[in-house]
């Protein structure tokens, strides 16, 4: 894409008007998937939800061999890996129930990401029991405190992602209140927190909110029956009256849904994904998880079984006939490590 809608507005500040985004997805939204979505045409990519308590313990490490910035936990686990290619497009989504801690984390990543998002829709117990995710929906004072703190405390855009409330009026008034905090945009998953992803989407709620506020509304929740192809994205945008569209499952199943030149076969998508996974040394279990999600009902096929048996990236590369590419990537990384070491050693 020559000039993306995402970067048109102003001095490099990420715009959420008329964009298509990769939704935040735990385990799925790691670096290889985000780069793949960008390559295929997504304007904005959200990382998986990262919990403020865990992130606050991380330190920032520049990895010159991989050309990435890592946020590393005390146990040496990489919680968040990002790179220059996505710097202007990546939204850091956090799970939080605490304004002060949210700001500490936002400041920690501020220079390396394009925007900060707060998850206010996750209905899972691990989120809600700490007052995070969808639990925030019943605590608008807390929502306001967190968002105001972030908006005034960081220099990049702040957004949030919510679900709808039981009535249209409540939903509209919540988003009006959210708008007043100064957030740049709001993503709305058009389902109640009790509803499951297979339940029909309430497009009318998204539409009512889009009419009521002036910040961009990002419509979400259409993957199962409304958005199957790239052309459906625009239909979904129109049906919801929203400014922008965010896709989770449709992108997880086949990220080429972002391609406006038509879909790519899954084999090709998995191969493109693996190239990023190898290049950025993605954790083997995470790579396997993402590929299994893509395979869906084919996960018990011969390829699926070989993938599930793989314990290393090398073994995954064999399952996909990508040994040569894998080896080349490893050789290049080794050569780069040697060069860098020769600079640092006397």
Residues designated catalytic: 122
DSSP codes joined into one string, 192-236: -TTS-TTSPP-HHHHHHHHHH-SSPEEEE--TTTT-SSHHHHHHH
DSSP of 118-179: EEE---SHHHHTTT-GGGGGG-HHHHHHHHHHHHHH-SS-EEEEEE--SSHHHHHHHHHHHH
Of residues 41, 99, 216, 221, which one binds ligand FNR by CB under 6 A? Answer: 221
| Options 160, 222, 282, 329; binder of ligand FNR; rule CB under 6 A | 222
Find the shortest distance in angstroms from Cβ 293 to ligand FNR: 7
Question: Are 165 and 171 within 8 A, CB to CB?
Answer: yes
Least distance between ligand FNR and beta carbon 67 (Å): 25
Nearest in space to 242 (alpha carbons), one of 224, 219, 262: 219
Count of residues binding ligand FNR (CB under 6 A)?
23
Complex with ligand FNR: residue 149 or 249, whichever CB lies closer: 249
Gap between the Cα atoms of 176 and 167, Å rounded: 14
Contact region for ligand FNR (CB under 6 A) — 37-45, 115-123, 149-157, 261-269?
A: 115-123
The answer to the question of residue 232 lying near ligand FNR (CB under 6 A) is: no
Report the distance separating Cα 282 and Cα 268, nearest Å: 19
Positions 19 through 38 that interact with ligand FNR (CB under 6 A)? 23-26, 28
The correct pick among 89, 161, 237, 288 for binding ligand FNR (CB under 6 A) is: 161
- Vertex 221, ends 219 and 224: CA angle to 5°? 135
- Residues 6+ positions from 282 with CB-CB distance below 8 Å: 30, 31, 32, 276, 313
Candidate ranges 6-14, 215-223, 275-283, 312-320; the one touching ligand FNR (CB under 6 A): 215-223
**C-alpha to C-alpha distance for 307 and 315, rounded to whole angstroms:** 8
Site string for ligand FNR, 75-104 (x = CB under 6 A): ------------------x-----------
Q: What is the smallest separation between the CB atom of 146 and ligand FNR, expressed in angstroms?
A: 15
Shortest distance (Å) from residue 237 CB to ligand FNR: 13
State the DSSP code for 255: G
DSSP-derived 3-state class of residue 26: coil
Q: What is the smallest separation between the CB atom of 303 and ligand FNR, expressed in angstroms?
A: 21
Contact call for residue 237 and ligand FNR (CB under 6 A): no
Q: Which residues bind ligand FNR (CB under 6 A)?
A: 23-26, 28, 48-49, 93, 119, 121-122, 161, 189, 197, 220-224, 247-250
């Amino acid at each position: 894409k020559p000039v993306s809608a995402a970067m048109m507005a102003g001095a490099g500040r990420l715009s959420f008007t008329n964009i298509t985004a990769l939704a935040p997805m735990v385990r799925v939204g790691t670096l290889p998937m985000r780069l793949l979505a960008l390559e295929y045409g997504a304007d904005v990519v959200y990382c998986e939800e990262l919990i403020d308590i865990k992130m606050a313990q991380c330190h920032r490490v520049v990895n010159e061999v991989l050309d990435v910035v890592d946020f590393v936990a005390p146990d040496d686990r990489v919680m968040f890996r990002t790179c220059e290619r996505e710097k202007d497009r990546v939204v850091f989504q956090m799970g939080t129930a605490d304004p002060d801690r949210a700001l500490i984390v936002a400041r920690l990543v501020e220079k390396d990401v394009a925007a900060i998002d707060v998850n206010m829709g996750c209905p899972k117990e691990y989120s809600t029991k700490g007052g995070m995710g969808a639990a925030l929906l019943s605590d608008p004072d807390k929502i306001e405190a967190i968002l105001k703190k972030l908006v005034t405390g960081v220099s990049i855009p702040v957004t949030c992602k919510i679900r709808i409330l039981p009535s249209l009026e409540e939903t509209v008034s919540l988003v009006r209140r959210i708008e007043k905090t100064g957030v740049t945009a709001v993503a709305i998953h058009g389902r109640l927190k009790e509803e499951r992803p297979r339940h029909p989407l309430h497009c009318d709620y998204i539409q009512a909110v889009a009419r009521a506020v002036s910040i961009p509304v990002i419509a979400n929740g259409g993957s199962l029956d409304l958005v199957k192809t790239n052309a459906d994205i625009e239909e979904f945008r129109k049906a919801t009256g929203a400014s922008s569209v965010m896709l989770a499952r449709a992108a997880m199943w086949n990220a080429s849904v972002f391609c406006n030149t038509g879909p790519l076969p899954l084999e090709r998508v998995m191969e493109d994904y693996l190239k990023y996974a190898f290049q950025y040394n993605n954790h083997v279990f995470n790579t396997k998880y993402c590929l299994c999600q893509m395979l869906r009902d084919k996960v018990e096929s011969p390829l699926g079984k070989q993938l599930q048996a793989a314990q290393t990236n090398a073994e995954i590369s064999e399952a996909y006939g990508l040994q040569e590419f894998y080896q080349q990537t490893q050789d290049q990384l080794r050569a780069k490590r040697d060069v860098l070491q020769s600079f640092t050693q006397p």
